Amino acid sequence: MTSATSPKITLITGGSRGLGRNTALAIARRGGDVIVTYHSRADAAQEVVAEIAAMGRKAAALKLDTGAVAGFADFAAALKATLSETFGRSTFDNLVNNAGHGDFSPLGETQEATFDRLVDVHLKGVFFLTQALLPLIADGGRIVNISSGLTRFCYPGYSAYAAMKGAVEVLTRYLAKELGPRGIAVNTVAPGAIATDFGGGAVRDNAEIGDHLAAITALGRVGVPDDIGPMIAGLLGPENRWVNAQRIEVSGGQGL
């Protein structure tokens, strides 16, 4: 069990890099403990754990393929053991469904295998991982699902990816309704264009793309990870306890 004064524990999928890593560090800076998952980069995940430990907070890293539902029961068991051994808890407080990948192609060129992988990771994985972890989420906890500004503004080539994120936004509202009796708030955070390695690092590394996106953003630049991680950390804080079933876009006013 947890108390009002105990540090909150947040599980972040895909927390070894990009926005997940930034969110993990932002939560630790606010006094929270963190569990990150990684797909293949155990070394990067352990670097995040070490950075959090250096802040005086507790952290752990667990391997997870969010596109492989068959592995979720084993992951839940490993998580339960980690909660007990590392944190002295039987539950955790916050789940951030962040893990994902970018496969982008025009509608007429999108392969079924590409589409199915997007479904598995961005929709099916979010649904069934959340389901598998519900017994371990403390009453009064929070869930944040990561979507995309691409559910509001449209660019050719992003239809399959954006469709998955649109489905996650609907799922968020249903989760908020069904988990409300347990006091669990569920929200969507939808970043705009962010300069990371996501999607091959196009926003970060291609000056032409970056300049175009900056020109159509009200604040006149593309986003950086520090625009997103602290926002999610704040959303999980007690000052935002009444925010529920919302899509919150964090894009600097892109595409207005």
Cα–Cα dist 136/236, whole Å: 17
CA distances 89 to 94, 184, 233, Å, are 13, 18, 21
Q: Which of 124, 148, 158, 251 is catalytic?
A: 148
Residue 84 falls in the annotated catalytic set: no
How confident is the model over 10-41, as pLDDT tens digits? Answer: 999 999 999 999 999 999 999 999 999 999 99
Q: Is the pLDDT of residue 139 over 60?
A: yes
CA dihedral sign, ordered 217, 15, 172, 91: negative
Query: Domains of the chain by range and CATH?
Result: 9-191+228-249 (3.40.50.720)
Q: Which of 124, 158, 165, 251 is catalytic?
A: 165
Q: Which of 8, 158, 161, 251 is catalytic?
A: 161
Residue 147 falls in the annotated catalytic set: yes
How confident is the model over 178-198, as pLDDT tens digits? Answer: 999 999 999 999 999 998 876
Residue 58 falls in the annotated catalytic set: no
How confident is the model over 213-247, as pLDDT tens digits? Answer: 999 999 999 999 999 999 999 999 999 999 999 99
Residue 159 falls in the annotated catalytic set: no
Cα–Cα dist 62/166, whole Å: 28
Q: What would the mean pLDDT of 128-134 be, rounded to a whole number?
A: 98
Tokens 């032409």 sit at which residue?
Answer: 208
Q: Which of 124, 147, 158, 251 is catalytic?
A: 147
